[in-house]
Chain A
Amino acid sequence: DTGVSQDPRHKITKRGQNVTFRCDPISEHNRLYWYRQTLGQGPEFLTYFQNEAQLEKSRLLSDRFSAERPKGSFSTLEIQRTEQGDSAMYLCASSFASGANVLTFGAGSRLTVL
């Protein structure tokens, strides 16, 4: 297993465009998390899944943000009608929901909105 993979690593887009990020978690893990991180800040929780069920989405930043995990494997995070304030690093992490629930993070997808 190669760990948590995120794609693309860097996305540059114009304001108003839609963007989608993909996360492939560690195959044995049943939980998948999405975070946003801006410079100098800790990761900001957005949403998480256990298998295909989205268990928490109240912290998605607005209705422009949505996440899916259709088959309980990979996940996508979509941002519609991007704004300059959406520029950030979007991190994905996966875990096995037992004991300490240790998260393994991907390298992140950096979004730049012009």
Chain B
Amino acid sequence: QKEVEQDPGPLSVPEGAIVSLNCTYSNSAFQYFMWYRQYSRKGPELLMYTYSSGNKEDGRFTAQVDKSSKYISLFIRDSQPSDSATYLCQTSYDKVIFGPGTSLSVIP
């Protein structure tokens, strides 16, 4: 079983839509759960992270962790064309492993 699994998309939505991005992970020992955003031809950058279970909100973005089902989600409200990027989840600590990323396009 892979450490992190993620639907690679691509996902295409109209501007203003609510977007849901999801990952599953295998190691129940993980405590920190990150989302990175990567624009084309750039390195990934941290978008937000959560510790253990629960929700965290930052502007239009909400990260959600369900440790019982080993499932993490990122919700984007009122999506904008500038949100068009690849979104990567990260769930390990030392040997940092990423999911394959979900490519998102927000169409004006």
Contacts and interface: CB of A to CB of B under 8 A. Distances in A.
Contacts, number: 62
A47 to B, nearest CB: 9
Interface in B80-105: 86, 88, 90, 93-101, 103
- For chain A, the bracket of interface size reads 20 to 34
A107 B103 CA distance: 19
Q: What band does the interface of chain B fall in when counting residues whose beta carbon is under 8 Å from A?
A: 20 to 34
A93 B32 CA distance: 18
B101 A45 contact: no
B34 A45 contact: no
B88 A42 contact: yes
Contacts of A45: 95-98
B96 A103 contact: yes
* Residue of A33, A45, A95 with highest tally of chain B CB at under 10 A: A45
A49 to B, nearest CB: 11
Interface of A: 4, 33, 35, 40-43, 45, 48, 55-56, 59, 91, 93, 95, 97, 99-108
